[in-house]
Amino acid sequence: MSKMIKLNINGTDVEVEEGTTILDAAKKVNIDIPTLCFLKEINEIGDCRMCVVEVEGRRGFATSCIQKAEEGMIVHTNTEKVIEARKTVLDLILSNHDRECLTCVRNGNCELQRLAQEFGVTDIRFMGERNRHEIDDKSPSIVRDFNKCVLCRRCISTCKNVQGIGAIDCTDRGFSSCISTAENHSLNDVNCTFCGQCIQNCPVGALKEKDNTKEVWDKLKDKDTFVVVQTAPAVRVGIGEEFGLPIRNKLYTGKW
């Protein structure tokens, strides 16, 4: 049986199993701590620092997604210093980010945009040099735009730890850090399988599906072309999951 420990978060007592992070302990009592790079059991690296909290008796901030809760710990998640630190993190990310939100595929569904709105970050204080990168659209299905990347590394962990491929990684250091392939080749020229899981877990618009809508409309308008529509198996499985249906490894017989 796991040992249980007690701590206090924002004045609320909480009891959790030893080894539980502060982030998960806070979730247990419905206290929200913002995250950007965190993906449960996939990407738990504490890189973005959006989840910082204050722990009484300790200097600096604790990164709640990786900091383990301890017996008697007193945690504050929404002090003035914590809020200001999160705003600074957002400001720094946005200072080197393509902020053309209205034309971005993730407009209205972007985690960075949501956090900026939540914390009222409307002016960029740290305007300076920006990285500029060519858009990689050579792949038949994925467009990679590092100008929108926030270096959260969620795509790297998903590709490596979930899919077992490792087609992408972080190259260079510091301000020159970049999520790319070996020798910065196109995704089309490395061992990428075009599964799209990196797109699914990207919090912004740095990765997106290649849009063939125009080509489809052109074919539909072409009177000399007979168009046949068929959904991929992954789409059918995805729809089934939304309705809670089991995955079946046999052809439909009309007797399900």
Confidence of residue 128 (pLDDT cuts 50, 70, 90): confident
Record the pTM: 0.84
Number of continuous H segments (helices) and E segments (strands) in the chain:
7, 9
Asked, for residue 221, whether it belongs to a domain, the answer is no
Identify whether 213 is part of a domain.
no
pLDDT tens for each residue of 70-79: 999 999 999 9
Q: What is the CATH number of the domain that holds 48?
A: 3.10.20.740
> What token pair was written down for 220?
């539909």
Q: What is the pLDDT of residue 256?
A: 46
Q: Is residue 27 part of a domain?
A: yes
* Model pLDDT, residue 54: 98
Distance CA 82, CA 88 (A): 10
Q: Residue 39: inside a domain, yes or no?
A: yes
Across 66-90, average pLDDT: 97
Q: Enter the tokens of residue 249.
A: 């490894």
As a whole number of angstroms, the distance between CA 47 and CA 66 comes to 10
Share above pLDDT 90 across residues of the chain, in percent, rounded to a whole number: 78
Asked, for residue 86, whether it belongs to a domain, the answer is: no
pLDDT tens track for 134-191: 999 999 999 999 999 999 999 999 999 999 999 999 998 888 899 999 999 999 999 9
Q: What is the mean pLDDT of the chain?
A: 92
- Which uninterrupted H or E stretch holds 53? strand 52-55
CB 206 within 8 A of CB 135: no
Expressed as residue numbers, the domain containing 71 is 4-78
% of the chain at pLDDT higher than 70 = 96
Pick from 74, 55, 64, 70: which is nearest to 37 by CA? Answer: 64
Q: How confident is the model at residue 249 (pLDDT cuts 50, 70, 90)?
A: low
Q: Is 99 a domain residue?
A: no
Q: Which of 34-43, 103-112, 181-190, 222-231 has the lowest mean pLDDT?
A: 222-231
The single-letter code of the amino acid at 38 is F
Number of domains in the chain: 1
Give yes or no for a contact between 65 and 21, defined as CB atoms under 8 angstroms apart: yes
> Please, which residues have CB within 8 angstroms of residue 87's CB and are 6 or more apart in sequence?
119, 120, 121
Print burial letters for 80-100: b (CB count within 10 Å at least 16), e (below 16): eebeebbbebbbebbebbbee
Instruction: Find the range with the poorest average confidence among 108-112, 123-127, 196-200.
Output: 123-127
Q: Give a yes or no: residue 253 inside a domain.
A: no
Give the pLDDT band (50/70/90) at residue 255. Answer: low
Residue 237 has pLDDT above 90, yes or no: no
Q: Is residue 166 part of a domain?
A: no
Q: pLDDT higher for 127 or 91?
A: 91
Tokens 């409307």 belong to residue: 122
- For 231, other C-beta atoms within 10 Å of its C-beta total 10
